């Protein structure tokens, strides 16, 4: 017997006509979890009702007492549908005659039900069901649309997540070229005008309820791991478990030097910082002893809402060292706008290395940072198994940012 969940309010997608008739509640029937036919365990959140996504197929029918809208007394009756599995054919009885039910009372199958802090809205295009969230990222500067205003607008437009970048400061010497690439253009001013990403995301969390909040990325090697563990856990707790923790190695040698971080040690420092934070997030009595991080048994609360901790996404183009870090301590690989064919090849290498190391390759999820807003490219990402594509917003005044978001809304729910 399928369980029935009765809600006092109609779903978000209900039309005004569906909401207005009197004495109507909503009965959600035959709720069934859907798992991809991959032979693996469900991804994080796929099998639980909480802070993550749950995909359902469910049938919705209005339960009407008394009068049907603008008509006389009516009752509903269900007969097996001649088409499809589990469907029903709905009719109303009026004056002894069977008549079709009104359009607002029609039942239909829905692939997604937003019940928690984010939602996926799959659609069928070109004959294949795909699931890829579309999020946004921006440099949250003091001259662009503010974090609160942008977060509210992005959530209202249906985007799954909002990510903020970070740089503590930019040394005026400007010895290291932009991104560490010789011949790169001058560094844009947004790099030294950003708000602190955790404070910006905390502000965003206070005015949203479903939007996931991402650090894109946190320069872990430049931060104290004990304080950073506290910030991550606090934001995850205060947001109700909506944090995606994106991390990266960094490229600006002078910026690192001001933090006391040697450029050639940044990977080793990042690794130990993350492993130390995991101890603090998951253990009541945590301690860590490494070459770069060392602390005795300690207490640190709050713990993250997401268990065992917020998903850790790492950037990087992909190479032996990055692959090793992904396999050891990350949940998501999130390179910057790779070509689909190159990304597919590298993912194959990563999965083989994961299997060789004894980790389930399916436990490593895929995302793309700064994806190009092109339907063919995004379709390619979705078909290769990417779960999230982050589209770029230029840090401009509010009116221009609203226009950018509006132009990107057409990609939401299409993959």
pLDDT the model gives residue 172: 96
**In this model, does residue 218 exceed pLDDT 50?**
yes
What value does the mean pLDDT take over residues 239-245? 98
- Considering the chain, what is the average pLDDT of its residues? 79
Q: Exposed, middle or buried: residue 53 (CB in 10 Å: 0-12, 13-18, 19+)? A: buried
CA pair distance 223, 176, nearest whole angstrom? 20
pLDDT at 181: 87
Nearest to 244 by CA among 288, 156, 200, 306: 306
**Mean pLDDT on 37-47:** 40
Q: How many other CB atoms sit within 10 Å of the CB of residue 296?
A: 9
Say what the pLDDT of residue 59 is.
34
Q: Nearest Cα to 340, choosing from 407, 275, 385, 286?
A: 385
Q: What is the pLDDT of residue 334?
A: 98
Instruction: Look at residue 12 and tell me whether its pLDDT is greater than 60.
Output: no
Instruction: Tell whether the model's pLDDT for residue 57 goes beyond 50.
Output: no
Q: Where in the sequence of the chain do the CATH 3.20.20.30 domains occur?
A: 129-411
Tell me the percentage of the chain whose pLDDT exceeds 70: 69
Q: Measure the CA angle with vertex 172, ends 166 and 178; round to 5°.
A: 55
Torsion over CA of 342, 345, 351 and 353, rounded to 10 degrees?
-100
pLDDT, position 103: 41
Confidence of residue 41 (pLDDT cuts 50, 70, 90): very low
pLDDT tens-place string over residues 69-127: 333 443 434 433 333 334 444 444 444 454 454 443 433 333 333 322 333 334 334 44
Fold classification of 129-411 is TIM Barrel (3.20.20)
pLDDT above 90: residue 307: yes
For 347, the token pair is 């993912």
């Amino acid at each position: 017997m399928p369980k029935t969940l009765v809600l006092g309010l109609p779903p978000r997608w209900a039309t005004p006509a569906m909401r207005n008739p009197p004495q109507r509640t909503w009965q959600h029937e035959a709720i069934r979890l859907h798992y991809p036919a991959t032979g693996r365990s469900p991804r994080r959140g796929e099998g639980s009702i909480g802070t993550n996504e749950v995909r359902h197929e469910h049938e919705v029918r209005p339960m009407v007492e008394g009068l049907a809208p603008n008509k006389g007394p009516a009752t509903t009756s269900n007969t097996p549908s001649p088409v499809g599995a589990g469907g029903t054919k709905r009719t109303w009885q009026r004056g002894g005659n069977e008549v079709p039910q009104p359009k607002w009372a029609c039942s239909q199958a829905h692939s997604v039900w937003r019940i928690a802090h984010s939602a996926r809205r799959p659609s069928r295009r070109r004959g294949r069901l795909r699931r890829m969230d579309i999020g946004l990222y921006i440099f949250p500067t003091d001259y662009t649309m503010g974090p609160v205003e942008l977060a509210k607008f992005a959530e209202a437009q249906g985007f799954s997540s909002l990510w903020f970048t970070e740089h503590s400061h930019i040394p005026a010497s400007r010895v290291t070229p932009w991104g560490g690439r010789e011949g790169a253009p001058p560094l844009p001013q947004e790099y030294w005008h950003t708000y602190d990403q955790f404070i910006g995301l905390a502000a965003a969390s206070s005015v949203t309820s479903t939007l996931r909040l991402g650090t894109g990325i946190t320069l872990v090697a430049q931060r104290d791991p004990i304080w950073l563990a506290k910030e991550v856990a606090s934001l995850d707790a205060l947001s109700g478990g909506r944090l995606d923790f994106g991390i990266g190695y960094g490229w600006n040698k002078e910026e690192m030097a001001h933090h006391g971080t040697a450029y050639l040690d940044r990977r080793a420092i990042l690794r130990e910082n993350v492993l130390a934070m995991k101890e603090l997030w998951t253990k009541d009595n945590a301690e860590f002893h490494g070459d770069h991080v060392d602390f005795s048994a300690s207490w640190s609360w709050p713990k993250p809402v997401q268990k065992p901790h917020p998903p850790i996404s790492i950037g990087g183009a992909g190479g032996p060292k990055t692959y090793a870090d992904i396999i050891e301590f990350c949940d998501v690989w999130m390179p910057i706008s790779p070509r689909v064919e190159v990304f597919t090849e590298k993912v194959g290498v990563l999965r083989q290395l994961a299997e060789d190391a004894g980790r389930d390759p399916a436990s490593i999820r895929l995302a793309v940072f700064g994806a190009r807003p092109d339907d063919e490219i995004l379709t390619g990402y979705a078909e290769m198994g990417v779960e999230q594509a982050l589209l770029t917003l230029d840090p401009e005044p509010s009116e221009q940012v609203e226009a950018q978001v509006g132009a990107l809304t057409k990609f939401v729910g299409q993959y």
